[in-house]
Structures are given as structure tokens and as C-alpha cells.
A and B are shown apart, each in its own frame.
Chain A
Amino acid sequence: MRRLPQGVVAALLVLPSGGYLALFFGLPLLLAFLGSFGLYARGGDGGFTLRHYADLFGTQAYRDGLVFSTYLAIVPTLVSLAISLPLAVGLAQTFPGRKLFNALYKVPLVVPGIVAAFIVMTLFDRGGLAARLLTPIGIDLPKIVRDDWAVGVIIATAWKAVPFMTLIIGGSLGAIQKDIILAARTLGATPLTAFWRIQIPLALPGITAAFLLTFIGGMGAFAVPNLLGPVYPLPLSVHMYVNAFERNNWGLVAAMGTMLSLISVLVLLAYYRTTRSLRTAYGGEVR
């Protein structure tokens, strides 16, 4: 039997996975990208146009929406990270009731986001449980549902994201060989120094993954900001919904989607850059 050229063999081997990726990830993204320029867009006229981007950046509400979407991605992610990191470290220690706590903190993982939003609403809205409990003793709760800084959204998102991030970060902290930390200690590092210089840099892949996944989730969040967020601005995701189903403006929806994806990709690149330099800085390279 004649043998196929090596290039052909390689192509055939890559075909199943490559083809799957192209069909289910590449193609939809490409269509959204083209649609944002009026090409192959659902309900569009078919000609190349920059109209949708002009619309997006020319309308105050959409510009504010883009900024607000980015805010809703960054702030809850940072808040969650600030809680998850110490939590993951704490959970690695032994303390009484650790097993119970270990099971309990994961509960939000199985609670859908919309339910989390309603929980926050029930607790913190005007006339909510917290207000009813605190008003009699003279504490007036600030507005945190539908407030300008979207505190309610941040709380609900962090409530969901903390166990998720803790799980991933805890896993990557746990994967660090114990001897490595002990070696740092015998060489003169306090527990805190060993944490910053050894554990954090070595757990960075996990921290990065948790950060990015939460960030991207926040970028496209729809239900939670819609329920708990301010009346103005609305995140781009809500504008996308309105433009798709109430105005049938799919070209604009594609432009908004493309912008959200673009920002996610930029953050991803920026984050990889910073973590890499952080890793080097913490490592204390002496070349």
C-alpha cells in the first residue's frame, strides 16, 4: 500500500479536534464578527458597513453600557479574589469543623445565579430582611440594590464566584510540594514571605484561570445585573437582549458581542503579561 505523505497524515490526525473547534467555536465567532460589519448578519442587508460600530460608540447609553460591563467584570472578580485567596490558604490548615466548613462553603456552587440575585434582593433591598432587623436598632442600611455602584451585583456575583475561585486556587496551592515551602522556611523565609515568594508564584496558573473565568462570566452577565443593577447604565448584555428581541437589530448585537469578546481577550493578554512579570519579580531572578 502506498503511504500517504506526512503532511496529509498530520492534517487527518488534527481534523477531528481541529474541525470540532472550527465548527463550534471558530464559525460562530467569525459569523458574529462578520455580522458586526453587516456581513451575513441575521436580518441584515448584506453589505459591508461600519454603521453598527458607529451606533455603538455614538450612543451614550451603549458607551456607558460597555464601561459598565467592564466594571461588572473587574470589580466582582477582584473582590472575589481578595476573599478566595485567604480562604483557600485557611482551608489548607487544620482546624476544628474543617470538614463541615469545607462542604458548606461550596453550597453557592450549586445555586443558580438568578437565585443568588433573589437571595441578595430578599436580604438587602429596601424593606428586606436586613433592613427590618437593623432599622429598629437605629442602623440605616445604605442602598445596595439597584444602587449606582452596583454593590448588590458585586455581592451576588462574589457570593457565586468565591467558592469557585477558592476551589481552583486551593487546588493549585495544594499541588505545591510541601518540601518546597519548608525549604524556603529553613532558608530564612517567614511563613508570610514563603507565601508571597513561593506559594503565590507557583499557584499563579490556578489563580490566573480562576480570575479569567470569573472575569469573562462577569463581562457577559445578564440576569444578576438586570435584577440588582442600577437603572442607568445598563450593561451591554442587557442592551444586546433588547436590540435582538425588541428591535431586531442583530448587526448591533453582533458589534456589542464583538466588543465584549475583544475586551475579554485584551484582559486575558494583559493578565498573562502581568502575571508573568510578577512571577519573575517574586521569584527574584538574579541573572
Chain B
Amino acid sequence: MSQITLTGIAKAYGTSVAIAPMDLTVADGEFLTLLGPSGCGKTTLMRMIAGITLPDQGAIRINGRDMAALPPEKRNVGLVFQSYALFPHMTVAANVGFGLRMRGIARDAAAERVRAALALVDLEPLAARYPRELSGGQQQRVALARAIVIEPDVLLLDEPLSNLDAKLREHLREDLRNLQQRLRVTAIYVTHDQAEAMALADRIIVMDKGRIVEEGAPVDLYRAPQTRFAAEFLGQTNVVAVTAAGLLPWNAGVAGPADGMVSIRPEDIAVTPALDGAGRVLSLTFLGPAVEYRIDIGGTVLRARDSGTGTAILPQGTQVDLTLRVPPHPLQGVA
């Protein structure tokens, strides 16, 4: 049961700002995802919570307790590294039991907790193996078991799935979410993968250049982004100018804020063939569940996506009409 509060936290390496002063609160039991491109400061932020990177200023509190003077070993956080960072000279059981040993838990009790943690990640039969004898996915699960067995106040996950292949990643993503909900542990998850962020998080913090750009629940962030950065980072979108007269580059009969920009998701554009249509199919990509078109309309190129098995596949050069399935979403503060 733990709440994390960051107040005015900041970090710079020489002249380059890793984290600009920021405040952040993570609610008890919340699954928070820090999403952003590499170098945006998300990992630094997480490492500061773990105590392995020290902030230049600001305070970090876990359950109201100030962490400033506490070294990593006293913070009771579970950290899963991108590289897993398993101890290569220890068996799976010894890896998972390490944190309990450090806490002076009696041998029998520790062995039982190790067994339970391994059962939780379906690795009980591999307890006596060494990390080198495991697959990437198994190593990742050992790292997870090692982090949760100590019953941490907060579980920190640094791109834990990024070294795995797509299918396994999807599978483990679900397991991770289930596990977190079952344990009710507060979790902070760092990733640059927007699909992962949306699938896992209760709340996403979008970061860029050491700053929080935008935050919100996955649905809100995806459907109603406030900033161009968030709109473009979470999935694909078309950012189009809009005037009082209507939507550019074609008059779709939708007026927006004068001289503003709107975000239109490709799946919100319906494409219908029309001999006198204003648009023309430049290229198409068949993705399996969907077809993606690049469409030229009045000199602007838009992406549109149509899905479903019954979807007609329009060849290159087809003249088309574009209609919006939902009103376009206005963006703030972009030129």
C-alpha cells in the first residue's frame, strides 16, 4: 500500500537537462507508465525513485517517508532491469532468494516465498537452473519474481519486455498486468512502446526532453490528445490545419478553431471510391487486419486505415472521397 510523491524533482548531467523540475504523484496500487522517446528522462526518473541516481533537487516520498537520505538497499523498491541483470553465478532460486537473504529472512521461510514467487511466474520447475540456461522470456520472469518476492512498496519496470520478440511480449504484457492487479502493488513502467503503454497502464505520462508533456488515462490520451507530441507519439495520426472556413486541405464541412491544428487518426477517415473524389490513393499497405492508404488530397498526404475482412482494397490511383467518422480533435499550442 504505497503512494509515491515527487516534488520539484530535477536532474542535470553537466549542461544537459535530464529532468526539468517536475511534480508527480502515483496513487496506491496504480499502474503508471512513463512513455517517451529514448533520452526523454523516463529511465532517469525511475532510477531516482530507486535511489541509484540522485536528484539534484526536489523530494521523493514513498508513503510520506522522505527518501533523500536512504540508499537503494533501504528503499524497499523492486526494480526489473531492461537487461534483467540476473546474477549469472546463482541459480534461479538463489537469484529470487537474494533479496530475502539480504533481509535476514529465515531459510525455510525464504525457500517457501521463493517457491511461491516462482509459481506466480510459472517457473517453479526451473528453480535449479542458471540464468544462462534460460530463454529471454524466462529470464525476464525470473527478474520479475526476484523483484516481487521482497514485497516492494513500489515495483519499477525499466522496459522489461523490449528484448523479447513481439508475440512473447504481448503474452507477457498480459501476465504482467494480471500479476500487478493481483498483488495490488504500485507499479511504474518505463517504455517507448505506445502499444505497451496503452495495454498496461492506468495512467500514462508522456515525456519529452526531461519534461512531462501530457498525462492521462490511455483512452483519453489516445482519443483526445492535447498536444501534437502526444498525438503523434501515441499511434499514428494526421495533424491537419483548420480554419474558420473549414478543415484544410479539403472542405469536409467541419469547422474548427480558427488557425488551429487538429489530429485525425487514420482509422477515423473513411475512404470511399468516387470518380469525382478529391483524393487519390498514392500507395497502400496491406497489414492483415487492416489496409493502410496514403492519400493525396489537395497537395497534402493523409493516412487512412480501413479494417475488416469485407473491406474493399482500392488500387493505387483510385479517386476517393474522404469522410470523417468522428469530429477531428483540436490540438493546443501548436503552430
Contacts and interface: CB of A to CB of B under 8 A. Distances in A.
A286 B114 contact: yes
Contacts of B150: 187-188
29 contacts: A179-B81, A180-B86, A180-B87, A180-B88, A182-B72, A182-B81, A183-B79, A183-B81, A183-B146, A184-B98, A185-B52, A185-B71, A186-B78, A188-B99, A188-B102, A189-B98, A190-B71, A193-B102, A201-B89, A279-B89, A282-B89, A283-B90, A284-B94, A284-B98, A284-B101, A285-B94, A286-B91, A286-B93, A286-B110
A284 B90 contact: yes
B73 A177 contact: no
A201 B91 CA distance: 14
Interface residues of A, number: 24
Contacts of A185: 51-52, 71-73
A283 B87 CA distance: 9
A183 B79 CA distance: 7
Contact of B85 (A177, A283, A284): A177
Contacts, number: 87
A186 B77 contact: yes
A275 B95 CA distance: 20
B13 to A, nearest CB: 14
Interface residues of B, number: 35
A198 interface: yes
B134 interface: no
B256 interface: no
B111 interface: yes
Contacts of B77: 186
A39 interface: no
Interface in A186-213: 186-190, 193, 197-198, 201-202
Contacts of A282: 89
Contacts of B78: 186
Interface in B237-270: none
Interface in B284-320: none
A187 B89 contact: no
B89 A177 contact: no
A287 interface: yes
Given A177-B83, A180-B85, A182-B52, A187 B94 contact: no
A285 B91 CA distance: 6
Given A180-B86, A286-B110, 12 more contacts: A177-B83, A179-B85, A183-B87, A184-B87, A186-B52, A186-B79, A188-B73, A188-B150, A190-B71, A190-B73, A284-B98, A286-B91
Contacts of A188: 73, 99, 102-103, 150
Given A185-B72, A187-B146, A286 B81 contact: no
Given A177-B85, A180-B85, A186-B73, A285 B90 contact: yes
B50 A186 contact: yes
A179 B99 contact: no
Contacts of A279: 89
A201 B111 CA distance: 23
B75 interface: yes
Interface of B: 50-52, 71-73, 75, 77-79, 81, 83, 85-91, 93-94, 97-99, 101-103, 107, 110-111, 114, 127-128, 146, 150
- Between A183, A185, A202, the greatest number of chain B beta carbons within 10 A of the residue's beta carbon is seen for A183
Contacts of A198: 87
Contacts of A183: 79, 81, 85-87, 146
Nearest to B111: A286
A286 B98 CA distance: 10
A47 to B, nearest CB: 53
Nearest to A183: B85
Contact of B102 (A189, A202, A285): A189
A169 B90 CA distance: 21
B242 to A, nearest CB: 47
Given A179-B85, A184-B87, A287 B71 contact: no
Nearest to B102: A188
Nearest to B91: A285
A218 B50 CA distance: 47
A276 to B, nearest CB: 11
Contacts of A180: 85-88
A177 to B, nearest CB: 6
Nearest to A182: B52
B225 to A, nearest CB: 34
Contacts of B87: 180, 183-184, 198, 283
- Between A186, A190, A197, A286, the greatest number of chain B beta carbons within 10 A of the residue's beta carbon is seen for A186
Given A193-B102, A284-B101, A286-B111, A186 B90 contact: no
Interface in A239-287: 279, 282-287
A154 to B, nearest CB: 32
Contacts of B86: 180, 183
A181 B103 CA distance: 17
Contact of B89 (A179, A182, A190, A202): A202
A283 B102 contact: no
B127 to A, nearest CB: 8
B81 A287 contact: no
Contacts of B71: 185, 190
A186 B50 CA distance: 7
Q: Which 10 A-B pairs have the closest CB atoms?
A: A188-B102, A187-B99, A179-B85, A183-B85, A185-B72, A186-B79, A283-B90, A286-B93, A179-B81, A283-B89
A148 to B, nearest CB: 42
Nearest to B74: A188
Nearest to A188: B102
A186 B85 CA distance: 12
